[in-house]
């Protein structure tokens, strides 16, 4: 699988990447995020961006405007704590503080500890195939053949897990089969993320909308076929059925990477564009808005 670059320099190691982000040498959506700061919602976050407070370092290094001076102490403490959490790559910190709909903003920082996952079942809640991939390799764990403890170790060392419709299917099934497993603290379900961008439907439908093609032998297959292929393997020993099932699962997993890249870039662009739009109730002209911003007051 290709490297998950997403606006970051691909040659940097995880530590170098973190250090560069902390120093402000490389920009990302996470260090621009203020939604976990006290008394900050999307509206106020956009206002911060529009007036030059583009990231956590800006909160620490630029003067506080009068209208936000009463909040600046708390914001500065959170900015410092966030930078330290980023420096130690503490996924739990951001999982506990960021609103879940905005967990996608952590993607570049934790790309080296991100896993893509999809499960197949036998028609009940019993897992038949657990497919996992990182940015370098894919591995399938087959019931009755493979040691699932290896999958457990892989998952427990990760920071982020990426699925499609995993909130409704993959993760509940995974927890039902392995209740003692410790899953990564951050979960990105691409289904609601892409729906937010206007791409609705199942995984295969969204892939088609974005021009992601499947192999000829797996085109048209769906979850019901995965169940059928499993029982052809179990009941009749069909090696071909198992091979096709694993090919199907592999594409379910590895295609999550380009979908995540697409969603991340589009969501970032949307956030940036929203910051350029005058907010409801603000002055019509940027000059007037800037004047209002630096007056005393509590308006956003």
Cβ-contact 128, 122 below 8 angstroms: yes
| Average pLDDT for the chain | 86
Structure-token match 């991100």, residue found: 114
Q: What is the CA radius of gyration of the chain?
A: 22
Q: From CA 36, how far away is CA 82, in angstroms rounded?
A: 9
The pLDDT of residue 161 is: 98
CATH label, 111-254, candidates 2.40.50.100, 3.30.420.10, 1.20.1560.10, 3.30.390.10: 3.30.420.10
Distance of CA 116 to the CA centre of its chain: 10
Q: What angle (nearest 5°) sits at the alpha carbon of residue 201, between those of residues 131 and 43?
A: 100
How does pLDDT run across 277-292, given as a tens digit for each residue?
A: 654 444 343 334 333 3
The pLDDT of residue 276 is: 79
How does pLDDT run across 28-62, given as a tens digit for each residue?
A: 899 999 999 999 999 999 999 998 999 999 999 99
Share of the chain above pLDDT 90, in %: 80
Domain boundaries of the chain, sorted by first residue = 14-101+281-293, 111-254
Mean local confidence (pLDDT), 105-129: 96
Q: What pTM value is reported for the model?
A: 0.85
């Amino acid at each position: 699988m290709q490297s998950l670059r997403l606006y970051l320099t691909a040659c940097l190691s995880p530590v170098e990447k973190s250090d560069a982000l902390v120093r402000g040498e490389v920009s990302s959506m996470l260090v621009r995020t203020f939604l976990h700061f006290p008394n900050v919602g999307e509206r106020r976050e956009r206002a911060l961006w529009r007036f030059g407070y583009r990231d956590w370092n800006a909160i620490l290094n630029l003067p506080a405007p009068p209208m936000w001076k009463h909040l600046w102490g708390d914001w500065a403490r959170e900015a410092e704590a966030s930078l330290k959490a980023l420096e130690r790559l503490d996924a739990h910190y951001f999982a506990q503080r960021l609103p879940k709909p905005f967990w996608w903003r952590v993607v570049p920082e934790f790309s080296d500890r991100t896993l893509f996952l999809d499960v197949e079942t036998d028609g009940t809640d019993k897992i038949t195939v657990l497919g996992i991939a990182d940015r370098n390799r894919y591995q399938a764990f087959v019931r009755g053949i493979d040691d699932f403890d290896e999958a457990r170790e892989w998952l427990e060392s990760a920071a982020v897990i990426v699925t499609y419709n995993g909130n409704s299917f993959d993760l509940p099934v995974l927890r039902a089969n392995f209740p003692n497993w410790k899953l990564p603290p951050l979960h990105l379900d691409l289904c609601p993320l892409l729906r937010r961008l206007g791409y609705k439907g199942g995984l295969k439908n969204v892939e088609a909308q974005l021009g992601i093609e499947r192999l000829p032998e797996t085109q048209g297959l769906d979850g019901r076929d995965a169940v059928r292929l499993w029982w052809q393997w179990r009941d009749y020993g069909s090696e071909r059925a198992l091979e096709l099932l694993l090919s199907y699962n592999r594409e379910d997993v590895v295609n999550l990477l380009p979908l995540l890249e697409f969603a991340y870039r589009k969501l970032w662009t949307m956030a940036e564009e929203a910051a350029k739009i005058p907010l409801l109730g603000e002055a019509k002209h940027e000059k007037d808005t800037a004047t209002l911003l630096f007056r005393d007051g509590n308006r956003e």
